[in-house]
Chain A
Amino acid sequence: MIASFLEWFGLGETYLHIFMAIALLVGSIRFRQLSPAQRLLSLLVMLSVLSEVLVSTKIFTNNMPIFHLYTVGEFCLIVSIFYVGRKDFLPKTIFRILIASFLLVAFGNVLLYQSIWEMNSLSSSIEGIVLVGLALWYFYDLLERLDMPNLGKSFMFWFATGVLLFFVSNLLFFVFSSSIVASQWQTENGQEIVLVIWPMFTFMNILLYLIFSIALICKDSIPSPKSFWSAP
C-alpha cells in the first residue's frame, strides 16, 4: 500500500511545478495590489521558480551553487517578510542581526566546512531552525495581541503557517531519515529510503506553494515599518 501511495508521488514533481506556477501567477497578476510583505513573498516565489528552472534545465553539471544562493535568498526574504508584514513584531536590530549572522554562517560554511559544490546541510538546518522559531514566535505574538479579527483572511497567518509546516517537516524528515540512511546506506534499503523521503519533501513543497498562493490572494492591509526599504 505504501509503495502504491509512493508511486502516486512519482508525479509529485509535475504537481509541484503546477502549484509553483499557480503561486507565481497569483503573485504576478496581483502584484500591484499586493502589500510590501506580499510583494516580498511574490519575489520569493519568483526566486524559487528561477532556481527550479535552472536546476531542471541542467545548464550546470553541479546544481549545489544554486542551492547555496537560494538558501541565502530564501532566508533573507522570509525574515524580511516577518519584519515587514507584522508591525512591532521583529525589532529592526534583531532583523539586521539575523540577516548579517546568516550571511556570515552561509559564507563561513562555504569557506570552512561545506564547499560550494557540496550540499549545504549546515546552513539549511540553521535556516530551518531560525525560521521555525520565528514562525512559532509569530503565533505566540498573535495569541498575545489578538489583533487579527479573521485569521482566514490574514496574509501573515497563512504565510507563517506555510513556513512552520514546511520547515518543521523538512527538518524532521532529514534528521529522522539521515540516521536511518547513515546506518543502512550499505544495505538494499539505503537508496530506497531516499526515494521515499524525496516524494514526501515534494508533497510538503506542494503544500507550501498552495498555502503561499492563498497568502497572496489575501488582502493585506498591515502597514509596513516606515524605515524598512532603507533599513538593510
Chain B
Amino acid sequence: MQGLDPIAQIFLVSTLIMVSLVGFIIFFVVVYQRRLLQQQRKMREQEAAHQRELLSASIQTQEKERQRIARDLHDEIGAMLSTVKMKVSQAKRRAKGDESLSPVLVETTDLLTDSIKNVRRISHALLPPVLDKFGLHAALKDLVEKATTEEGTRVRLQIDGEPVRFPQHQELGLFRVSQEVLNNALKHAQAKLIEFRLTFRPEQLSLEIRDDGVGFDWEKKQAESSGLGLKNIESRVLTIGGKWQAESKVGKGTRVQIRVEMGEK
C-alpha cells in the first residue's frame, strides 16, 4: 500500500470495500438459507412427532374402547345369555311332556349356545385374555392355531429365546400387527405357508412374519391409498417405538420384520 500512489490506494481500498460488502450480503443469504432449512427440518420433525403422539393417543383410546366393549360383552351380555340359557333349560325340563313347546325350547337353547360362543369369540378377538394373562408368545400360539384350523393354510410359529413379558402396550401393539399381517396374508396372498418367528433377546423382541404367497409391488402399494393395511402396521409399530422393515415382490411372497426395544415409547 505504501508504494502505491494515492489514486491507486483509493481505488484499491474502495474496490475492496465494495467486494467485502457484496461478500457480506452473499454470506448472509447463504447463512440465512441454511438456518431456514434447519428450522424447516426441525418444524417437520416436530410435526411428525406431534402426529405420532396423536396417533398413539388415538390407538390407545381405540384399545381402551375395545377392552371396555370386550369386558361388557363377556361380563354382561355373556353372563346374561348364560342366565337365559339356564332359565330355558329349566323351562325345558318343566315342559318335558309338552310336545309343542319342547322343540322350540331345544332350538332356543341351541341358538343361545351359539350366541354365547359368538359373544366369547368376539370378546376374545377384541382383547385376547391369553395375551393379558400369559403374554405375546402364548397369544401368538393361540392366533396361529386358530388360523390354521379356520383357513386351511399352514401357519407356523417358532419361538427363539426365553419368553419374557414386555410392557402391555408393546405386546398388544405387536399382537395387533400380527393379526393385521396374518389377515392380509390369508385374504390376499394365497399363501400355502405363513411363518411367524418370535425372538426374545435381552431387552429386545423381534418378530418376523413371512409367507410364500403371490406378493405385491411394495412401492406401488405404499403410494396407493389402498395400502391402508401397511399404513396401519406402520402406525402401530411407531406407536410402540419399534422399527420395521418389509419386502415383497410379485410371485415371491412377503416378509415383515419388526424389532422393539423393551419399554420404548
The chain A residues found within 8 Å of chain B, CB to CB, are 2, 6, 139, 142-143, 146, 148-149, 151, 161, 164-165, 168-169, 172-173, 176-177, 180, 184, 189, 192-193, 196-197, 200, 204
Contact = CB atoms under 8 A, between A and B. Distances in A.
Contacts of B113: none
Contacts, number: 63
Nearest to A180: B6
B28 A143 contact: yes
A146 B5 contact: no
A143 B25 contact: no
A149 B36 CA distance: 8
A164 B21 contact: yes
B28 A139 contact: yes
A161 B25 contact: yes
A2 B14 contact: no
Contacts of B39: 146
A184 B9 CA distance: 13
B14 A169 contact: yes
A142 B75 CA distance: 64
Contacts of A197: 10, 14
B14 A200 contact: yes
Contacts of A204: 18
Contact of A184 (B6, B11, B25, B35): B6
Nearest to B15: A200
Contacts of B31: 143
Interface string B3-22: 00111111101100110011
A128 to B, nearest CB: 13
B11 A169 contact: no
Contacts of A196: 7, 10-11
Consensus secondary structure, chain B interface: helix
A192 B28 CA distance: 36
B17 A172 contact: yes
Contact of A189 (B5, B13, B35): B5
Contacts of B22: 165
Interface string B206-239: 0000000000000000000000000000000000
A6 B33 CA distance: 37
Given A172-B14, A176-B14, 9 more contacts: A143-B28, A146-B36, A161-B25, A164-B21, A168-B21, A176-B10, A180-B6, A189-B5, A196-B7
A143 B11 CA distance: 33
Closest 6 A/B residue pairs (Cβ): A180-B6, A172-B17, A189-B6, A146-B39, A165-B21, A200-B14
B32 interface: yes
A169 B17 contact: yes
A180 B35 CA distance: 42
B84 interface: no
A79 B36 CA distance: 27
B29 interface: yes
Contacts of B25: 161, 164-165
A173 B14 contact: yes
Nearest to A164: B21
Contact of B6 (A149, A161, A173, A193): A193
Nearest to A165: B21
A177 B8 CA distance: 12
Contact of B32 (A142, A177, A192): A142
A131 to B, nearest CB: 14
